[in-house]
A and B are shown apart, each in its own frame.
Chain A
Amino acid sequence: MGMHSFKASDGLGLAYALDDYTDPWRAADTVILLHAAMGSSRRFYAWVPHLAGEFRVVRLDL
């Protein structure tokens, strides 16, 4: 899993995980998963292997 971050327009750093095991020579759709309150990107860990062979899976920490 790769954890990354970017700066939101109001200056806050937002973290996200990106998992991609799709065929490198093809374009793949991206799905952004958003966790529940009191959660984080980590709570979606079990979803990733089911999805990331066909889709780029982005899990944002709200």
Chain B
Amino acid sequence: MPLSSETHYVTASDGLELAYAIDDFSDPWKPREALILIHAAMGSSRRLYKWVPILAREFCVVRPDMRGHGATGMPGPGQLSLERLTRDVIELADHLQLQRFHIAGSSAGAIVAMRTTLDFPERIVSLTNFASTPGLKNSLIDMDKWVSHIRARGMRGFLEDTIAERFPNVADKGFLAWFIEESARTDPELFARFGPMMKAVDFTDRLHEIKCPMLNVVPGHDPLGAPGQYEVYKTHVPHCEFIVYEGLPHNITDSVPERCANDLRDFLRRHRQVR
């Protein structure tokens, strides 16, 4: 069955058309409190569908498609950088007249969320990071190997080859097939730019600038991350909250979406913009 959220569009300042979904079932007579929720690499807004019913009764949930993902346009030369992805978030927020908003992201989407918080702190009510280090520079991902694998086998082949390590505890074959189908829509050459771009990022030395409430939800058994690498948040953002999903590998936002959304909702409730 098709997911129902309509796709909306806004033109970014460099001319690229950005797609997003917006779902809001909050009380219309109360001030709107918004959450911008950003998907992982090789994903799209659609991958976060299960989060919407849990969050959208209380918050206006905005799910953008990052450049080159989902229904957003393919970035041309010079149109893909972490700074540009961050700028997209702010331009989308401006378009929706969201002066301040909560922001959350999954994996690479969390890198964008964190960078947005660092560069535009006055706009961010709270920040939630699912399964991401502050850039992939210190992760165990061999990005050259990933790109080679994708170029050799195609995106679908790469995903089929690696699905068991992403979801070792998921038996639902329907979900696994859907995950592959959705993620295989990613253009391999887009990932060949996007992945290495994120692999070059490390803003550990800026984490101390985060002053807003921050929640980190991390996989307890992440083969993509060096041991203890998520501990940087406890060190550099001492006021942050920290939840570990023991025994789970990297893709927690897809394998346990309701758990993620419930933890996010609880955190947002504790740090409301409007009381």
What is the CA–CA distance of A24 and B179 in the complex, to the nearest angstrom? 10
Q: In the complex the two chains form, is B5's CB within 8 Å of A28's CB?
A: no
B193 close to chain A: CB less than 8 A:
no
Residues of B close to A24: CB separation below 8 A: 1-3, 49, 178
Contact of B178 among A18, A25, A49 (CB under 8 A): A25
Q: Which residue of A lies closest to B46 (CB)?
A: A24
B9 close to chain A: CB less than 8 A:
no
Residues of A close to B53: CB separation below 8 A: 21, 48-50, 52-53
A2 close to chain B: CB less than 8 A:
yes
Interface residues of B in 23-38 (CB under 8 A from A): 23, 25, 27-28
Give min CB distance, B193 to chain A, whole Å: 28
Q: In the complex the two chains form, is B57's CB within 8 Å of A49's CB?
A: yes
Q: Which residue of B lies closest to A47 (CB)?
A: B25
* A23-62 interface code vs B (CB 8 A; 1 in, 0 out): 1111110000000000000000110111011001000000
Q: In the complex the two chains form, is A2's CB within 8 Å of B1's CB?
A: no
A1 close to chain B: CB less than 8 A:
yes
Q: Which 9 residue pairs are nearest across A and B when measured between Cβ atoms?
A: A25-B174, A20-B4, A53-B53, A49-B53, A49-B57, A25-B178, A2-B4, A49-B25, A2-B6
A-B contact pairs, 6 of them (CB 8 A): A1-B25, A2-B4, A22-B1, A23-B175, A45-B28, A49-B25
